[in-house]
Amino acid sequence: VFQGRILARRLVGQETRYEVEVKTPYRHRFPLVPREYVWVPNTCGCPPLREGGQYLLMARRHVNYERTLNRLLLQDDGYARPWTPREDRLVREAARHC
């Protein structure tokens, strides 16, 4: 779970790749660098992330069977909400309990 700002969006095959500036990592099981690519397995624009917008994102690390692909994946059931101070407060409170 992290707060990020969408820098760019690009369609690659049947997927969408977002370049994201990681602002605040809240809870993560793997290290995040200041800029990450977040992949969405569709091209329909779901979830609707706009360039320049800040979001609270819950993505998972996806490593394929051959271990040749290692990326952040925002699935259909993933969490992507516009970032607000309220969201920040809720995530920080939840992190104390988890």
Helix (H, G, I), strand (E, B) or coil at 95: helix
Residue-wise pLDDT for 19-37, tens only, equals: 999 998 887 777 888 999 9
Q: Which of 9, 69, 81 has its CA nearest to residue 38? A: 9
The predicted model gives 49-69 an average pLDDT of 83
List domains and CATH numbers for the chain.
Answer: 2-96 (2.40.50.120)
> pTM (2 decimals)?
0.82
**Higher-pLDDT residue of 8, 43:** 8
| Whole-angstrom distance, CA of residue 8 vs CA of residue 20 | 7
In the chain, which ranges are continuous DSSP H helix?
A: 85-97
